[in-house]
Amino acid sequence: MTRKPITRRDFLKVASAAPLAGALLPRLSAAPAAAADKVRVVLVRDPSPLGTGGAPPAEVVQRMLDDAVKALLGETDVVKAWKSLIRPDDVVGIKTNVWRYIPTTAEVEQAIKRRVMDAGVAESDIGIDDRGVLRHPVFQKATALVNARPMRTHHWSGVGSLIKNYIMFTPQPSAWHGDTCADLAAIWDLPAVKGKTRLNVLVMFTPLFHSVGPHNYAKDYVWEYKGLVVSRDPVAADAIGLRIIEAKRKEHFGDDRPLPMTPHHIALAETRHHLGVADPARIELVKLGWAEGILV
């Protein structure tokens, strides 16, 4: 039996109609979840000036990542925290994103790599790649993955997300574009990645909050948020990132302008694919550092 479609009228029924995209996210739970039942997401920000590559200085990025991982795992020692994520005998792929205008940045890649090595992994057993992961010898034998990419609006999937970052583990990425990328979370069940992800880092140094033109990019729609969103749950981290993007759109455009393409793959990652938690009532958001303009 097919389900009843969600139509424009369903949104009209909600007098306080939030952005359409936001309204597609799971409803708030009837009762608040206890902290112990929640998925933890850490948002860390630093006001340091950004370099030409769009990242804060390397030492600032390292500190941001370290603070986030310690807060995420409840550890005071960052190496000990990483050792709870990565074993010395792991082969670790750091899945990055090389998009021309807003990449993951070398600073983030190297900060992760340093801590993976601190956890005892040999440098030869660490790979950093994006579009070549299927051909990369380290990724081919990887036992652990660290997923790091920037969040930005996207012409087809609504937003480029941590969930979407694994599309390069498929031989034909366009095969996952159906229904505006609704089922991207199913990629996480593929053998190359299933069960391997130890940490997700959503880079929000200079997020893109509106897409124009074939390249999806205009400098006018980027702002210096200077944040990292870190979680073991990619869906929860994406849900937080999406809230920040939507809040920025409201601030910039002056109304609840929905993302033109609904980023429903984030909500469906929870409700259809059970990859993680998108429901804000079941996310514990820990905020560290710079608070000005935090938006969430």
Partner 1 sequence: MSRPEAPDVRTLASYIPVTAGPWLSEADQVFDAETVFDYIDGAGEVYRSYNMRSLVARRFHKDGRPDIVVDAFDMGSSADAFGVFTHDLDGEDAAIGQGSAYKAGLLSFWKDRYFLSVYAEEETAETKALVLDLGRRIAAAVPGSGPKPGLLALLPADGLEAGRVRFFHTQAVLNYHFFVADTNVLQLDQTTDAVLAGYGGSRLLVAAYGGPEAAARARASFAGAYMPEAGDPAAVRTENGKWTAVRSAAEIVAVVFDALSEREARDRLDAVFALLEKRALRPGR
Positions in the binding site for partner 1 (CB under 8 A): 4-9, 11-13, 20, 24, 99, 154-157, 160, 173-174, 177, 179-181, 211-216, 218-220, 258, 260-262, 264
C-alpha pair distances (Å), 234 with each of 40, 94, 210, 238, 249: 11, 14, 22, 6, 22
Taking the least distance from each CB to partner 1, the nearer of 220 and 255 is: 220
Taking the least distance from each CB to partner 1, the nearer of 75 and 130 is: 130
**Cβ 39 to partner 1 shortest distance, Å:** 25
Closest CA to 163 of 66, 60, 274, 46: 274
**Cβ 62 to partner 1 shortest distance, Å:** 29
CA gap 291, 218 in Å, rounded: 26
Taking the least distance from each CB to partner 1, the nearer of 7 and 76 is: 7
Q: Is 195 helix (H, G, I), strand (E, B) or coil?
A: coil
**Cβ 87 to partner 1 shortest distance, Å:** 34
Taking the least distance from each CB to partner 1, the nearer of 49 and 178 is: 178
Residue with tokens 């990292």, as numbered in its chain: 228
Angle (deg, nearest 10), helices 264-271 and 234-253? 150
CA gap 16, 12 in Å, rounded: 9
Strand partners for 289: 45
For residue 136 the two structure tokens come to 């990369």
CA gap 240, 35 in Å, rounded: 17
**Cβ 12 to partner 1 shortest distance, Å:** 4
Strand partners for 150: 203
Taking the least distance from each CB to partner 1, the nearer of 26 and 260 is: 260
C-alpha pair distances (Å), 63 with each of 125, 206, 247, 289: 24, 18, 26, 11
**Cβ 230 to partner 1 shortest distance, Å:** 24
**Cβ 180 to partner 1 shortest distance, Å:** 5
Taking the least distance from each CB to partner 1, the nearer of 155 and 287 is: 155
Taking the least distance from each CB to partner 1, the nearer of 83 and 155 is: 155
